[in-house]
Amino acid sequence: MSREYVLEQMAKAKPAKLVCFDSDYNYYLLGVCGYLLMYRQRRFKDGRRCYMLTEQLAKALNFGDLFEFKFYLRTLQFWRGFVSVERLRIAFAKYDAKW
């Protein structure tokens, strides 16, 4: 599967299961292309989805593991172990232009 297809599924898929929540965020578990990905979303409707940087996310995006994922996408901007789909697209555009 192509990375763009996986990113599109991540951006548009409906939440599969609410796992937990705190005062600011709801945490969801989502199945994308055979991989379970966890993301968080602010409780307010305007919040964007931020996916947790895990081995499952790296494998869904055709990388061997999380170390390889971070090695090749050095320009990836993430915060506290979470990254948005928009930032992933920007990092992949720079990655594809370089290689």
Q: Which residue has the higher pLDDT, 69 or 48?
A: 69
Task: Provide the CB-side half-sphere exposure for 27 (13 A, CA).
Answer: 10
28's CB contacts (< 8 A; 6+ apart) are 15, 16, 17, 18, 19, 38, 39, 40, 41
Please, what sign has the CA dihedral across residues 1, 38, 47, 26? positive
Q: What is the residue-wise DSSP string for the chain?
A: --HHHHHHHHHHPPP-EEEEE-SSEEEEEEEETTEEEEEEEESSTTPPPEEE--HHHHHHTT-SSHHHHHHH-TT---BTTEEEHHHHHHHHHHHHHH-
The mean pLDDT of 85-96, rounded to a whole number, is: 89
Total-model pTM: 0.85
pLDDT band at 99 (very low <50, low <70, confident <90, very high): low
**pLDDT recorded at residue 11:** 87
Rg, the chain, Cα only: 13
**pLDDT value at residue 94:** 87
pLDDT at 97: 74
pLDDT digits (tens, 9 = 90+) for 39-56: 998 887 667 889 999 999
